Amino acid sequence: MAEISRERFALLVEQAGLKKLTPEQIEELRQGYRFVERMARTVRRRRDRAAEPAHIFVHPRA
């Protein structure tokens, strides 16, 4: 996957309300954004609509 552009990433930073970051901090986060994309790909799968989240964590029975 192509690296996110500085312009597009600046929009994401603004959208997140992170107004006090230094240019170095923004670039550091941009370098890591590829991991956000990978993680999102891993968890976003087709699953039954009835599949519940583990919003209250309990130990499921086998």
Partner 1 sequence: MDPTLLTLAEASRAIAAGELSPATLTEAYLDRIATLDGELHSHVTVLRDEALAAARGLGAGPARGPLHGIPIGLKDIYKSRGIRTTAGSRVYETHVPDEDAETWVRLRQAGAILLGKHETHEFAIGGPDFSLPFPPARNPWNTAHYPAGSSSGSAVAVAAGLCAAAMGSDTGGSIRGPAAYCGIVGLKPTYGRVSRRGVFPLSYTLDHCGPLTRTVEDCAIMMQALAGYDPQDPASADRPVPDYRAALTLRLDGVKIGLVRHFHERDAVAGFGADSAPTPAYAAAFDAACHTLESLGARLVDVQLSPLMDFADTNRVIMLSEAYALHESDFRERPQLFGKHMFARIGLGAFLAAADYVEATRQRRELCVEFARALAPVDAIVSANATGPAPRIDAVGTWSTFERPSYTAPYNLTGAPALALPIGFENGLPLGFQIAAKPFDEAVVLRVGHAFEQATGFHRQRPAIAASLA
Q: Which of residues 7-36 bind partner 1 (CB under 8 A)?
A: 12-13, 16-22, 25, 28-29, 31-33, 35-36
Residue 38 CB, nearest distance to partner 1 (Å)?
Answer: 7
Residue 34 CB, nearest distance to partner 1 (Å)?
Answer: 9
Measured from the CB atom, the residue of 5 and 25 that comes closer to partner 1 is 25
- Kindly state the tokens that stand for 34: 């590829």
Question: What is the C-alpha to C-alpha distance for residues 3 and 10, in angstroms, rounded to an integer?
Answer: 13
- Kindly state the tokens that stand for 35: 């991991």
